[in-house]
Structure 1
Amino acid sequence: MLPEPAPEWHTTAWLNTPQPLELAQLRGKVVLLHAFQMLCPGCVAHGIPQAQRVAKLFEGAPLAVVGLHTVFEHHAAMGPESLRAFLYEYRVTFPVGIDAPGPDGDPIPCTMRAYAMQGTPTAILIDAQGRLRRQVFGQYDDLLLGAELGALLVEARQSSAAAVDAQAAEGCSDDRCARGP
């Protein structure tokens, strides 16, 4: 079974980034999407610190760490102003999107529903081609996450190198190789 394209994100606002992020903008990079709620004990104790470590350890790699604040309970207590203060207090610097509310009073936010998340924290790995490769609900073992990110980064580099080789071969025939424009 081949990986499926990752669903688009449906957000109402973005924090820690000058402009909204879309998956298409991140093609060529591996994406770690960390879905959380600021009042979720597992998110605060494990998920957010893990995402921060990944952002720091993989700085300079073709990897984007993105947060998704996806609120399915205690809606009134977790608005944008509270989230802004939370991100400041916990020194979260990676971009964080605010999941759009579900339609017609649905308590499950749009992106959470699109990814069929069971709750928070949820870690989602998206490969450099924009395909959903892994989704983990709850605590994600650091070693397993690191190994899976490493494999996706190697895959991304190999895919990038193959594309360069294919592009170079376009100007070649059996008797000559023409240089590009």
Structure 2
Amino acid sequence: MKIGINHEQAPELRVPVWIGADGGPVSPLRLNDLGDGMRILFCFQDWCPGCHSRGFPTLRVLVDRLVGQGAGFAAIQTAFRSSAKKDVGDQTAKNQAMYRLNIPFGYDPVPDGEDQPTVMADYHTAGTPWFIVISPEGEVIYNDFRLDAGKFLSALDLPDM
């Protein structure tokens, strides 16, 4: 199986369940709903220790630093076990509140007849925590497990806030 889709056009999101930045339900998001700038998708599982020890803290740093710079964010709970169809919104909303992330959160269960969630299938992810960075032009420029927030922010060469 091919892992990641770097340097390819980002597929449109097909995540069926979303809550908005305020925790309330919203219509399914499309990539353009995240803005015209860089878009960062964070895939997680509620039970994943690495998501809580590394993934969410990294996401928190990125949101704090980049949200005012035109970057758009979304976190997506990828339920890659078919038994994970329970808790459709409960764990997703719990994580949004626990990490005080005022960004959209999606829940991507395994569709009937498929073996993995849509984001995993479309972006060729290999588990969680998983970061996907999409350029303003729509090209996937990063697609992998770990993202070093310090190195990433330094590479962006942003003006000080």
Answering whether residue 131 of structure 2 is matched by residue 123 of structure 1, we say yes
* Alpha-carbon separation, structure 2, partners of 1:22 and 1:57: 23
Q: Tell me the residue number matched to 1:8.
A: 12
- What 5-or-longer segments of structure 2 have no aligned partner? 1-5
Match of 2:79, SS state, is: coil
Which residue number in structure 2 is paired with residue 102 of structure 1? 111
RMSD: 2.4
Tell me which residue corresponds to 1:146.
153
Of 50, 53, 57 in structure 2, the residue corresponding to residue 45 of structure 1 is: 53
Change (3 A) 1:86 1:28: closer
Residue range with higher mean Cα deviation, 42-51 or 85-94? 85-94
Of the three residues 31, 34, 37, the one matched with 1:29 is 37
1:66 CA displacement: 1.2
Q: What's the CA shift string for 1:103-142, capped at 9, x where partnerless?
A: 41x34101211111010011011000111111112x3222
Classify 1:79/1:27 alpha carbon distance in 2 versus 1 (closer, same or farther; 3 Å).
closer
Q: What does residue 157 of structure 1 align with?
A: none
Equivalent residue in structure 1 for 2:97, among 73, 81, 88: 88
Q: TM-score, normalised by structure 2?
A: 0.80
Question: 1:91, 1:60 → 2: CA distance?
Answer: 16
Paired residues of 1:35 and 1:121 also in contact (CA < 8 A): yes
Partner Cα separation in structure 1 for residue 71 and residue 95 of structure 2 = 24
1:135 aligns with 2:139: no
2: CA distance, partners of 1:44 / 1:61? 25
Matches within 5 A, 1:60-71: 60-71=68-79
| Structure of greater Rg | 1
What is the rounded CA distance, in whole Å, between the counterparts of 1:87 and 1:38 in structure 2? Answer: 11
Kept in 2: contact 1:67–1:94 (CA 8 A): yes
One-letter amino acid of the counterpart of residue 15, structure 1: I
More helix by share: 1
List runs of 5+ in structure 1 lacking aligned partners: 155-181
Q: How many residues align?
A: 149
**Amino-acid identity (%):** 26
TM-score (norm 1): 0.72
When residues 76 and 55 of structure 1 are mapped into structure 2, their CA distance, relative to the original with a 3 A threshold, is same
Indicate how the Cα distance of structure 1 residues 12 and 6 shifts in structure 2: closer, same or farther if over 3 A, else same.
Answer: same
